Structure 1
Amino acid sequence: MWKFQNSVSYKPQKLGCTFQCKVRSILYSRNRDAYRDPQFISDVMEPLLIKKLMNKKLVNLSRGELHKVALTVCLGKPADIYLIDEPSSYLDSEQCIVVSKVIKKTAFVVKHDFIMTTYLADRVIVYEGKPSVDCIANSPQSLLTGMNLFLFVSPLHIYF
């Protein structure tokens, strides 16, 4: 049986924000240690260009900037599992590649973008059937095998 006690970190697909606080405040309030850790700074914050956003109010961020901050908060939380829904929402293709490199750690990511999936995943789970009605989850498989199945079977969804 799985037991989770503060061991899951989640970034939702849809974000909205009316907070007047600055990015710096939200990052430090969520996990001060991560945002002081040189490894986290170089692996996550620098590639996502978070330093440029630190003094901006959350309410004034673009959707892409807000998603990068949410991803930083998610990855800054120590967890056994990272659930990241649509990590590249509102980002251009160059930023999508940066995000895929940043989150290339153990994560369960929902992504419907075939190209982004190939950059991000090492292994994939392909679902066959009718979404939310009747489907079968295939076992985790290599990126190549999973993508071939993804292209062969319709309709289906892929998770990695």
Structure 2
Amino acid sequence: MAGRRPGERPDEGGSGGGARALGEDTLRRCRRVLGPDHPTTLWVAIALARALAAVGEGAAARVLGEDTLEGCRRVLGPDHRNSLWAAVALTEALASVGEVEAARALGEETLRRCRRVLGPDHVITRDATVALTHAVSRSGDAKAARAPGPPPAKPPGL
């Protein structure tokens, strides 16, 4: 805990090596015990892909993200929440390796699906908005990055 900034996660600010090893070990175990297409295995792969992108391992995140999105869509369908979350992870990975047009296209499709299936205030929809905004901002389109779509609805009572 010493040396961390307030609010910083344990894996931030470093290589994330320990977190990566734990995530990879968990994914290996899930694949062995549950099988590669089990929803929990796919969820763990999504989480690892997002973590890899967050610590600068974009190429590894992209490979894992592509495989995981394909598996989620095949096993769960394109509109399942895990498939949408996998698409968010791949959008992040693509943006992190500079493939901004592919990230933007996937991000736009994912955000449309999230809003239709999950609604504008769901956490995955919000993650999709952030991933798309990041991809758009990396493309240099500052105006579009500031306004990728309508804002979420206000929570009741506010």
Q: Structure 1-normalised TM-score?
A: 0.32
Higher RCO (Cα < 8 Å, 6 or more apart):
1
Name the structure where helix makes up a greater proportion of residues. 2
Name the structure where strand makes up a greater proportion of residues. 1
